[in-house]
Copies of this chain bind each other. A is one copy, B any other.
């Protein structure tokens, strides 16, 4: 079975989407062509507008075509607490928990061997952000729970603690609802080390 060149090109292009393999890409391409060409055209134009138009929020560096993203532009958010994450996807994950402070989005994590130093991941912009934030009291480091994420969090904490800020890190431990024997050893060790007394 083969497809005509334009359909083949569309199937190949759809595979750049995360989680989309050859089979899903085929189904997507054929279904759009059969049932929803106007939806396909709308998607083409939304893609082009977003890829060309979206930049970064001047304040938190998340993705936004406006100078201030919706989170930074919202006057009801708490200016005393700033959450530092590694990517715009993480802003969404943290906001889902109910957090309503401010954000700063790094460009990934420190990785000296790949030439990803403090400048490359946006540390100077973070420091400028912190300097300008008069009401700021606490910084929450929500970088990934990986070796690189930990190293990045440690590096930032060394810069911010001397400025008199409270600096905290997300707690490690066993995930809610998990079964103990399915939890990996490193996580379990962290959970032991971070054990808390139970109320009487």
Contacts from A to B (Cβ < 8 Å): 1-7, 9-10, 12-14, 16-19, 24, 26-34, 36-37, 39-54, 63-66, 69-71, 87-89, 91-92, 95-96
A91 to B4, CA, bound (A): 13
Residues of A contacting B: mostly: helix
Q: Verify A30–B70 contact, CB threshold 8 A.
A: no
A9 to B19, CA, bound (A): 21
Q: Verify A41–B36 contact, CB threshold 8 A.
A: no
Q: Verify A39–B16 contact, CB threshold 8 A.
A: yes
Min C-beta distance of A15 to chain B, whole Å: 9
A12 to B45, CA, bound (A): 12
* Number of identical protomers: 2
Q: Verify A1–B54 contact, CB threshold 8 A.
A: no
Q: Verify B33–A40 contact, CB threshold 8 A.
A: no
Partner of A87, one of B14, B34, B41: B34
Q: Which chain B residue shows the least CB distance to A74?
A: B2
Q: Which chain B residue shows the least CB distance to A2?
A: B70
**Which chain B residues lie closer than 8 Å to A18 at the CB level?**
27-28, 31
Q: Verify A63–B4 contact, CB threshold 8 A.
A: yes
Partner of A92, one of B26, B44, B89, B96: B26
**Which chain B residues lie closer than 8 Å to A27 at the CB level?**
18-19, 89
Q: Verify B6–A53 contact, CB threshold 8 A.
A: yes
Partner of A6, one of B54, B71, B92: B54
**Which chain B residues lie closer than 8 Å to A32 at the CB level?**
16-17, 47, 50-51
Given A31-B89, A43-B47, A48-B44, A65 and B4 contact (CB-CB distance below 8 Å): yes
Q: Verify A64–B4 contact, CB threshold 8 A.
A: yes
Q: Verify A46–B1 contact, CB threshold 8 A.
A: no
Q: Verify B13–A70 contact, CB threshold 8 A.
A: no
Closest 3 CB pairs of A and B: A1-B95, A16-B39, A13-B46
Q: Verify B46–A50 contact, CB threshold 8 A.
A: no
